[in-house]
């Protein structure tokens, strides 16, 4: 098996940072040792004769070595009644790799009349032989009679340790409160985690019908008919049902302070509640819906973009640990030919934004370089080197492992997602025995985000022209170099399905 030495990098994990060499044997991390210089000498003055047998040396001088990102909320090759997402498992996972993400968890959607086994097999066919990085699935339940307790247990045995329920989209994905309670209760018995899309779908449906009847059909009315108060109400209701069921719950794509407050209240009572937000709710705002003509359709997503005050509250919550993960909700549709389906009726605009490639860059740029996750002395890393104590295994408890911005950044984009969804310590960490999923990140670089250069198969970027601090230089998946100098050099089909453990 090939052996790779990553030499003289700054290892950044969710709990620590230090300068070290990292030895990869085959697909896993074999050793983390004192650093060598580019001239091949240890910092202590020793040579590297013990490095005999290394097949490849990657010089990481001046670079951060991060664990590969774990994006637990994507929608690839997802059909809607009128169209299908622009990115499938090939294009979407290539884009993810170029953005420093080495694992995604997508959603296998059960549609009415289908069994869970049929839904899972459908998504296996979409991903197998196409995915360029490792992947797993959440199981979306929409039809409980076809998803009985035994079927949920079968999913857990298949390595699907999380389920998703939607409180929005009546007539398609929405389930009622009784179904939510029953799924939460059964998932808890199985050790599975339930993810909930929290919006009051029935009231939203009424507001939408009233808007259309009044001739209010422009894209901005998508946001006006999905007010933040209804996300807050549904989040509180979901948490109440989870408490009644004695079940853990994970609230997806939190977009506003109203929903955040319900999560904070629950966590203050030590309830097993976790919250996820997405870059679009941190970097964009409802001002995008004021774009002229039909341009605002580019930003139609659910929940919609909120106020700048909401974004500030979400950033503060991430810094404090009140929100635990940042995922993308990547759901890409081209502006031309897809978003345009709703040119005369906002209800026909396919909901969703692209973002699978930009998550890590945005979170480093805004969270670390711009200080939204706190302030740190980035130059001090040069003084840190590995010690015996730093090689010890650390707690697997979720939550804020450090109040340092670099650690918090790694925690929300890789480590806590891996822990919550049964992938840690194989994924989301840098430790001996773990998968060699690694990102070589240049903190001195700059990346201009643009549809002209991204790898997502979509004709626009919500962040067009944004100058992000940092640049992704190389990415390794299980020890294999898949991104070099920012370009994909791997192969589609090399990604593996990951069977996940239940919530610990």
> DSSP characters for 389-438?
GGGS------S-S-SSHHHHHHIIIIIHHHHHTT-TTTSSS--TTSB--E
Neighbours of 403 (CB within 10 A): 13
Nearest to residue 450, comparing CAs of 442, 441, 440, 458? 458
Neighbours of 22 (CB within 10 A): 25
What are the structural domain ranges in the chain? 68-364
Sign of the torsion formed by the C-alpha atoms of 419, 421, 424 and 429 = negative
Both tokens assigned to 178: 């009784």
Residue 147 has a pLDDT of 87
Phi, psi dihedral angles at 348 (to 5 degrees): -100, 0
Residue 241 CA from chain centroid, whole number: 25
* Model confidence, pTM: 0.94
One-character DSSP codes across 90-138: HHHHHHHHHTTEEEEEEEEEPPTT--HHHHHHHHHHHHTTT-SSEEEEE
Q: What is the pLDDT along the chain (504 residues), one digit of tens a residue?
A: 799 999 999 999 999 999 999 999 999 999 999 998 655 555 433 334 345 689 999 999 999 999 999 999 999 999 999 999 999 999 999 999 999 999 999 999 999 999 999 999 999 999 999 999 999 999 999 999 988 899 999 999 999 999 999 999 999 999 999 999 999 999 999 999 999 999 999 999 999 999 999 999 999 999 999 999 999 999 999 999 999 999 999 999 999 999 999 999 999 999 999 999 999 999 999 999 999 999 999 999 999 999 999 999 999 999 999 999 999 999 999 999 999 999 999 999 999 999 999 999 999 999 999 999 986 555 445 445 544 333 332 222 344 444 599 999 999 999 999 999 999 999 999 999 999 999 999 999 999 999 999 999 999 999 999 999 999 999 999 999 999 999 999 999 999 999 999 987
Q: Is 484 exposed, middle or buried (0-12, 13-18, 19+ CB in 10 A)?
A: middle
Quote the CA–CA distance of 238 and 389 in Å, as a whole number.
42
d(CA 12, CA 31): 15
Radius of gyration of the chain (CA): 22
CATH architecture of 68-364: Alpha-Beta Barrel (3.20)
Pure H helices in 128-219: 149-157, 177-190, 201-213
Q: Which residues contact 475 (CB under 8 A, 6 or more apart)?
A: 68, 97, 98, 100, 102, 438, 439, 440, 481, 482, 483
For position 52, what pLDDT does the model report?
A: 64
Query: Would you mind telling me the total number of residues written for the chain in this entry?
Result: 504
């Amino acid at each position: 098996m090939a052996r790779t030495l990553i030499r003289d990098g700054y290892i950044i994990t969710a709990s620590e940072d230090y300068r070290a060499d990292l030895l990869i044997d085959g697909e896993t991390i074999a050793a983390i040792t004192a650093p060598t210089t580019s001239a091949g000498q240890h910092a202590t003055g020793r040579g590297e004769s013990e490095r005999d047998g290394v097949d490849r040396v990657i010089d990481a001088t001046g670079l951060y070595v991060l664990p590969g990102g774990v994006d637990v909320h994507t929608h690839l090759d997802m059909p809607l009644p009128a169209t299908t997402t622009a990115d499938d498992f090939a294009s979407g996972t290539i884009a993810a790799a170029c953005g420093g993400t080495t694992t995604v968890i997508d959603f296998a959607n059960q549609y009415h009349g289908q069994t869970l086994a049929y839904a899972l097999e459908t998504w296996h066919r979409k991903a197998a032989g196409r995915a360029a990085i490792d992947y797993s699935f959440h199981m979306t339940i929409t039809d409980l009679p076809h998803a009985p307790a035994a079927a949920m247990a079968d999913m857990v045995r298949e390595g699907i340790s999380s389920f998703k329920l939607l409180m929005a989209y009546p007539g398609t994905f929405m389930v009622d409160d009784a179904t939510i309670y029953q799924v939460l209760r059964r998932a808890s018995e199985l050790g599975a985690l339930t993810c909930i899309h929290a919006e009051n779908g029935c009231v939203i449906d009424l507001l939408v019908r009233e808007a259309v009847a009044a001739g209010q059909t422009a894209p901005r009315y998508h946001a006006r008919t999905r007010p933040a108060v209804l996300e807050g109400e549904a989040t509180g209701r979901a948490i109440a049902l989870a408490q009644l069921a004695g079940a853990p719950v994970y609230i997806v794509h939190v977009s506003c302070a109203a929903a955040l407050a319900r999560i904070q209240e629950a966590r203050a009572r030590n309830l097993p509640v976790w919250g996820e937000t997405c870059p679009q709710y941190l970097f964009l705002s409802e001002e995008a819906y004021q774009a002229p003509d039909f341009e605002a359709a580019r930003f139609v997503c659910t929940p919609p973009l909120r106020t700048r005050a909401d974004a500030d509250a979400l950033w503060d919550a991430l810094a404090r640990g009140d929100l635990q993960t940042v995922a993308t909700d990547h759901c890409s549709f081209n502006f031309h030919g897809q978003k345009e389906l709703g040119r005369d009726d906002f209800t026909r605009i396919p909901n969703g934004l692209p973002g699978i490639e930009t998550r890590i860059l945005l979170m480093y740029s805004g969270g670390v370089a711009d200080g939204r996750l706190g302030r740190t002395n980035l130059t001090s890393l040069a003084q840190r080197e590995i010690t015996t104590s730093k090689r010890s295994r650390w707690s697997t408890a979720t939550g804020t492992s450090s109040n340092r911005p670099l650690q918090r950044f790694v925690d929300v984009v890789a480590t806590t997602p891996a822990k919550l969804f049964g992938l840690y310590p194989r994924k989301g960490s840098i430790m001996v025995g773990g998968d060699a999923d690694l990102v070589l990140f240049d903190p001195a670089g700059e990346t201009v985000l643009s549809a002209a250069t991204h790898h997502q198969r979509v004709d626009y970027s919500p962040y067009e022209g944004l100058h992000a601090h940092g640049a992704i230089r190389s990415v390794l998946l299980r020890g294999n170099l898949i991104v070099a100098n920012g370009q994909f050099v791997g192969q589609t089909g090399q990604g593996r399905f990951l069977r996940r453990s239940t919530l610990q």
